[in-house]
Structure 1
Amino acid sequence: MQAHLATQEDDMWYVITDGSIKILKNRTTTTSVDDVPKMIEKPRYEWSTKDKRKVNLNNVAKDILYKMLDKNMFSKIKSCSTAKEIWENLTQLCEGNDQTMENKLMVATQKYDSMKIKSGEIMMDFEERFTNIIIELSTLGKTYSNREVNMKVVKALPRE
């Protein structure tokens, strides 16, 4: 049973990253010089229960991806027809291309550089804002040493 689940999970990931699974069978006649049978698409009426499950994985994957999204993100991908298309759009929206990543890093760096405690802000709230910026920078590939982070916190505090 465990091997069956691993295969189904692998097939699911394949559907998301590479596209729908086509059900193939060996062509009964060989047309190549080396007598290697060619694969052709299996007619729907010949599909086994296992074949039907594999073909349906695209629908299952789409359903899972849809359920993971909030209304805002769903509205951006609802026109996609395959799980692969949804995944590619989500990747683009969330990660972006190199230019997008560079822009995100620049904005996050500017936030870090201009970080100051707000008037009336308690230290716990400041720490949360600061930590979020550090995490954002880290996910974009920019890290600071503990010394740099500590110095930044000290400089962000008011003189009094």
Structure 2
Amino acid sequence: MANMVQVTNMLNYDNEIGTSQKPPKLLSFVDYSNWKDRFDHFVSFTDTSLWIPILEGYTHPTYTWMGNDDVPKSVSALTTKENFLFDREKKAMANISMSLPKEIYHSFKQFKTSQQLWEALQKWCEGSLDVKKRRKELLKKQFLVFKHFQNESLDDLATRFYHLLSELSSASVVYETKEINDKFLEALPCKAPFLG
């Protein structure tokens, strides 16, 4: 039984962080900013050239036939350079797609290039400027009212606090070290709960 728990924990960790062979999973939209950082690290580790189609876009080569200028070239007709660009786009698209669990992926199947998919995810998860502004305000309020929950261990309190700090940082909300320390000390319970 203990071995099964260890295997499950290891699989969950691999899904969240990724491995050298597979990208990290976007487990929920709420975790998007953390996933985006992990995905960046994964691509930087595996092949930085995958950022080119994601950020700059990809257009499949075409040729003219019977007056039609937009006939897509078959893969076998691609030049060496075109084939390299095609391959890079397919790998970029696969890595982003494999990062999405089926509960999320079905909402994004209509996007056909890595750039379209990346931008749609970004817009969906980060929202418009108005949504970003509201998120910042919400995070600031959470920081202001942060406190210890009844029966919460000190480890859980610290984990929750550092997660909030991470969210604030990803939303470009910065507090001075003194403010952070004061807030954490203020949140500590009067009596120390059990550890763990």
By the TM > 0.5 criterion, same fold?
A: yes
Q: Which moved more, 1:50-59 or 1:103-112?
A: 50-59
1:114-155 per-residue CA deviation (whole Å, 9 max, x = no partner) reads 111011111111011111111111111112122111211222
**Counterpart in the other structure of 1:64:** 95
Q: Is the 8 A contact 2:58 2:89 kept in 1?
A: yes
**Counterpart in the other structure of 2:142:** 111
Cα 1:44–1:159 change in 2 (3 A) is closer
**Counterpart in the other structure of 2:132:** 101
TM-score normalized with structure 1 length: 0.71
Aligned residues: 138
Q: Is the 8 A contact 1:17 1:84 kept in 2?
A: yes
Q: Distance in 2 between matches of 1:79 and 1:145?
A: 44
Amino acid at match of 2:55: T
Q: Distance in 2 between matches of 1:113 and 1:9?
A: 39
Question: Which of 1, 10, 15 is matched with 2:53 structurally?
Answer: 15
**Counterpart in the other structure of 1:156:** 187
Question: Which of 86, 92, 103 is matched with 2:117 structurally?
Answer: 86
Q: Is the 8 A contact 2:53 2:115 kept in 1?
A: yes
**Counterpart in the other structure of 2:25:** none
Coordinate RMSD, CA, aligned: 2.8
Cα 1:120–1:21 change in 2 (3 A) is same
Q: Which moved more, 1:105-114 or 1:47-56?
A: 47-56
TM-score normalized with structure 2 length: 0.59
After TM superposition, give the deviation of residue 24 of structure 1 in Å.
7.9
Q: Is the 8 A contact 1:77 1:86 kept in 2?
A: yes
Q: Which 4+ stretches in 1 moved above 6 angstroms?
A: 40-43
Matched residue SS, 1:61: helix
**Counterpart in the other structure of 1:34:** none
User: Which has the higher Rg, Structure 1 or Structure 2?
Assistant: 1
Specify every segment of 5 or more residues in structure 1 that has no aligned partner in the other structure, as ranges: 1-7, 26-39
Specify every segment of 5 or more residues in structure 2 that has no aligned partner in the other structure, as ranges: 1-46, 64-68, 192-196
Q: Is the 8 A contact 1:22 1:41 kept in 2?
A: no
Q: Distance in 2 between matches of 1:110 and 1:136?
A: 13
1:51-78 per-residue CA deviation (whole Å, 9 max, x = no partner) reads 3343344333221211122233312212
Q: Distance in 2 between matches of 1:80 and 1:24?
A: 20
